[in-house]
Amino acid sequence: MRNITRSSIATKPCVVILLFLALCIGIQSKTESTHTHCKAWLVQSIPTDMPYLPRVPGVLSTADVFRWLAGNSTQSLDIIAQYWQLLSQPDDPRSGDYGYSKADMEKFGVNDGFRVYKSIEDAADRKAKVRFLQHSGVYPDYTKEPSSLALGRPNVENVTLLLGDWWGSGIVHSKVWISDHKDVYIGSANNDWKSLTQVKEVGIYIVGCPKIADEVEIYYNNLWKLASLNSSDHTKEVWDQQWQVYRKVPCWSHFLNSRDRCRYTQSTVKI
């Protein structure tokens, strides 16, 4: 399969597994103290054309988990992704999907991307409060899909966060879903049909855990707040003595002397 799979996958499964174990410990302690029943599963994506690398029994499919999170959302759905390409574009000469037949695309698993997109759209149409946060996206779509989902829907908000505006470089690389303040996905899969069926991805699906969801929402809301601020008003340049370069940093950064930092107000990010 040409131009579809990525040759190097930076999923770092060991890191995710360690996070999974840490969360399990937290789940156990929270369960004992609050009598809630948190559950967690490992999640993975395996390329469809790798018959000798089947999914591990008991590990859930990324596409299924994304559909469940969106499909079960009745109040809210928050999503962070680096980029979106859930809908294939085999007729667009700019796309890596270009030139493949409908049969080829179905074999590659493209319908999983469509089903995930449709489940998000359905959540929006049910009037759940939906928020999308992402980097600027990738060619040729950029932020077309989340922008289209937000268009004409007052209950759907969509923001692009450019970390380069705050630190001089960097991208939003997190992949997080939070449904109804209690169900969470944290992993490596983007909102991209290839991340569901043509790339090895790994993650954690946590269900019925409002306290853990609250902690993840703090992270989400900080990024959301950061995206709402004018970086020009809240960044400074500082000389990095160790590396002998000027660094662009938020005005509350510990790279700055304490007397030079901005104070926390309602217009800055809580850190």
pLDDT tens-place string over residues 183-198: 999 999 999 999 999 9
pLDDT in tens, the chain (271 residues): 434 433 333 445 445 544 554 555 454 444 444 456 899 999 999 998 888 888 889 999 999 999 999 999 999 999 999 999 999 999 999 999 999 999 999 999 999 999 999 999 999 999 999 999 999 988 888 999 999 999 999 999 999 999 999 999 999 999 999 999 999 999 999 999 999 999 999 999 999 999 999 999 999 999 999 999 999 999 999 999 899 999 999 999 999 999 999 876 555 555 4
pLDDT value at residue 36: 63
pLDDT at 163: 96
Residues 269, 222: contact at Cβ < 8 Å? yes
Q: How many Å apart are CA 158 and CA 148, to the nearest integer? A: 10
Contact 146, 234 (CB under 8 A): no
Give the span between the Cα atoms of 4 and 106, in whole angstroms.
13
Q: Are strands 201-207 and 183-187 parallel, antiparallel or unpaired?
A: antiparallel
Write down the pLDDT at residue 49: 82
pTM, rounded to two decimals: 0.85
pLDDT in tens, 240-269: 989 999 999 999 999 999 999 987 655 555
> Is-contact 161 226, C-beta < 8 A?
yes
Computed over every residue of the chain, the mean pLDDT equals: 87
Question: What is the reported pLDDT for 50?
Answer: 85
Task: Report how many helices (DSSP H) and strands (DSSP E) the chain contains, helices first.
Answer: 8, 12
Identify the DSSP state of 58. Answer: T
What is the per-residue pLDDT for 19? 57
Helix (H, G, I), strand (E, B) or coil at 106: helix
User: For 13-228, which CATH class?
Assistant: alpha beta
Predicted local confidence at residue 208, as pLDDT: 97
Task: Kindly compute the dihedral angle of the four CA atoms of residues 183, 186, 187, 193, in this order, to the nearest 10 degrees.
Answer: 50
Half-sphere exposure of 33 (CA within 13 A, CB side): 8
pLDDT at site 45 = 96
Q: What is the pLDDT of residue 78?
A: 98
Q: What is the pLDDT of residue 161?
A: 97
Res 55: pLDDT = 81
- The domains of the chain are located at 13-228, 234-271
Contact by Cβ (8 Å): 178, 184: yes
